[in-house]
């Protein structure tokens, strides 16, 4: 039975995480997909194709993606190469202190260029990507024409 994990499951957005897939058949060809929906309801996705190693595992930090949104060994590639479903949209986090981005990771059997509702993943998990650490205080700045925010550590 396949299992996909992200470690740590909750982290700051600028911190690396480790994605691993276990329980595959040796040399099985799979598609690993990351997706999130932003605060405006816009969906962003990335995908990478991998061949499982002899133990039936895939680790983007050790194994090279053979195609998809990127190719080669990129430990954070699924997060870095997220693209909007609608052209010219940008991934922007407005509520940086109140909630994380929830990134869904799924693994599919074979090469999946496009996935529909009928395509069921072999396994899935969710990662929380926070933009402000615990206890950080956000102070709005408004001075003349200058607008911004000051983030104070705990």
pLDDT of residue 91: 92
Q: Which residues contact 41 (CB under 8 A, 6 or more apart)?
A: none
Three-point CA angle 27, 56, 50, nearest 5°: 55
Q: How far apart are CA 36 and CA 122, in angstroms?
A: 19
**Which CATH number fits the domain that encloses residue 49?**
2.60.40.2240
pLDDT of residue 63: 98
Question: Among 107, 98, 86, which Cα is nearest to 37's?
Answer: 86
pLDDT of residue 43: 96
For 53, the domain range is: 3-152
pLDDT of residue 116: 74
Tracing tokens 């009928």 back to the chain, one arrives at: 118
pLDDT beneath 70, residues of the chain: none
pTM (2 d.p.): 0.89
pLDDT of residue 125: 98
Per the structure, the count of domains in the chain is 1
């Amino acid at each position: 039975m396949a299992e996909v994990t992200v470690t740590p499951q909750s982290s700051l957005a600028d911190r690396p995480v480790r994605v691993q897939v276990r329980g595959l058949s040796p040399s099985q060809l799979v598609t690993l997909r990351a997706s999130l929906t932003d605060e405006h309801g816009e969906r962003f996705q990335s995908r990478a194709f991998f061949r499982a190693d002899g133990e039936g595992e895939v680790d983007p930090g050790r194994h090279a993606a053979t195609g998809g949104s990127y190719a080669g060994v990129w430990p954070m590639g699924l997060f870095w190469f997220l693209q909007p479903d609608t052209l010219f949209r940008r991934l922007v986090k407005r509520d940086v202190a109140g909630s994380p981005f929830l990134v869904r990771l799924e693994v599919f059997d074979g090469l999946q260029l496009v996935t529909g509702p009928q395509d069921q993943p072999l396994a899935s998990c969710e990662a929380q990507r926070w933009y402000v650490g615990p206890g950080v205080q956000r102070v709005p700045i408004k001075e003349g024409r200058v607008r911004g925010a000051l983030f104070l550590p705990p």
